[in-house]
Structure 1
Amino acid sequence: MEQTTYFEDYEIGAGRTTFGRTITETDFVVHAGHTGDFFPHHMDVEFMKTTPFGQRIAHGTMVFAIGVGLTASVVNPVAFSYGYDRLRFIKPVFIGDTIRTRTSIAAKGDDPKRPGHGRVVERVEVVNQRDEVVLAADHIYIVERRPKT
C-alpha cells in the first residue's frame, strides 16, 4: 500500500500497532544461519537450562528485524529511513512468544542537510503477548516538505 504523507502531515503522538507474530524454532535457526551468530544463548538448550533464563533467548537482532518488518505495511514515496537511534533489548524473547510493534511519532524538526525536508522521529516499541516492552528504538525518517503551490 502506498500513502503520501508529507512532513507537515505528521502529528506528535500519532501511532499504530501491528499484528502479532509468534517466534518459532525456525526463526532462531534461520537467523543464526543468516548472521553466523550461533552463540549458545540462542542455540544450546542444555546450556541455557543452567542460566537464569532457563531456555534459549532470541537474538536481539532477530527481534529487531522482525519487529521492524511488522511495521512495513505502508510505503511513503516522499520519505526514507535515516536509521535507528537508542536501540535497546529490554527483555528476552523466547520461542513461542508473540511479538507486535507499537509506533508513535515522538518528535519532528528541520533537517539541517536538506532544506526541502524535515526529520521525523518515530518511537518503536516491540512488545510481547503480556504487553511488556522487549525492544525499543527511535526510527528517524527524512520526509519531504509539502510542495509550495
Structure 2
Amino acid sequence: MIVEEFFEDYRIGFSRRTMGRTITEADIVLHAGQTGDFFPHHMDAHWCATQDFKRRIAHGTLIFSVGIGMTASTINPRAMSYGYDRLRFVRPVFIGDTISVSATITEKRDHPKRKTHGIAVEAIEIRNQDAETVLVCEHLYLVERRTPAET
C-alpha cells in the first residue's frame, strides 16, 4: 500500500502492531550463512546445553531484521529510513518463539541541515509470545515537509 504523508502529518502517539511470526531453525541457519556468524550460541545445540540458556538462541541481528521487516507494510514516497538508535537485545529469542512488533511515533524534530525535511522517531518494541520484550530500538525517518522549516 502506498501512503503519502508529509512530516506535518505524522502524529506523536500514533501506534501500530504487527501480527506474529515464528522464528525457525531455517531462519537461524540462513542468517548465519548470510552474515558469517556461526558462533556456537546459534549453531551448536550440544554446546548450548552446557550454557545458561540451555538451547540455541537466534542472532540479535536476525530478530532486528525480521522485526523491522514486519513493520514495512506501507510505502511512503515522502519518507525513508534515516537509521536506528538505541538498539538493545533485551532477552534471547529461541527456535519456535513467535515475535510481534509494536511501533509508536514518539518524537518529531527538525533536521539540523535540511529545511525541506524533518525527522520522525518511531519507538520499536519486539516481544515474544509471552509478551516479554526481546528487542528495542528507535527507528528514525527522514520525512519531506509540506512547507520548508523557517530558518
- Shorter chain as denominator, the TM-score bin is over 0.9
TM-score between the two structures when normalised by the length of structure 2: 0.96
Question: Amino acid of the residue matched to residue 94 of structure 1?
Answer: F
Counterpart for residue 92 of structure 2: 92
Q: C-alpha deviations, 1:52-109, integer Å up to 9, x for none?
A: 1010000000000000000111000000111000000000000000001100001001
Counterpart for residue 34 of structure 1: 34
- Cα distance in 1 for partners of 2:113, 2:75 equals 23
Counterpart for residue 130 of structure 1: 130
Shift of 1:146: 1.4
TM-score between the two structures when normalised by the length of structure 1: 0.97
Counterpart for residue 101 of structure 1: 101
What is the aligned length? 148
* Stretch of structure 1 that moved more, 106-115 or 33-42: 106-115
Q: C-alpha deviations, 1:32-66, integer Å up to 9, x for none?
A: 00000000000000000011101000000000000
> What secondary structure is seen at the aligned counterpart in 1 of 2:68?
helix
Question: Amino acid of the residue matched to residue 49 of structure 1?
Answer: A
The RMSD of aligned alpha carbons is 0.9
- Cα distance in 1 for partners of 2:106, 2:52 equals 35
Question: Amino acid of the residue matched to residue 129 of structure 1?
Answer: Q
Q: Is 1:114 equivalent to 2:151 in the alignment?
A: no
Counterpart for residue 9 of structure 1: 9
Superposed structure 1 runs of 4+ greater than 3 Å apart:
none
In percent, how many aligned pairs have the same letter?
58
- Cα distance in 2 for partners of 1:49, 1:13 equals 43
Question: Amino acid of the residue matched to residue 101 of structure 1?
Answer: V
Shift of 1:5: 1.0
Q: C-alpha deviations, 1:7-40, integer Å up to 9, x for none?
A: 1111111110011100001001000000000000
> What secondary structure is seen at the aligned counterpart in 1 of 2:105?
strand
- Cα distance in 2 for partners of 1:12, 1:147 equals 19
- Cα distance in 2 for partners of 1:70, 1:112 equals 30
Shift of 1:147: 4.5
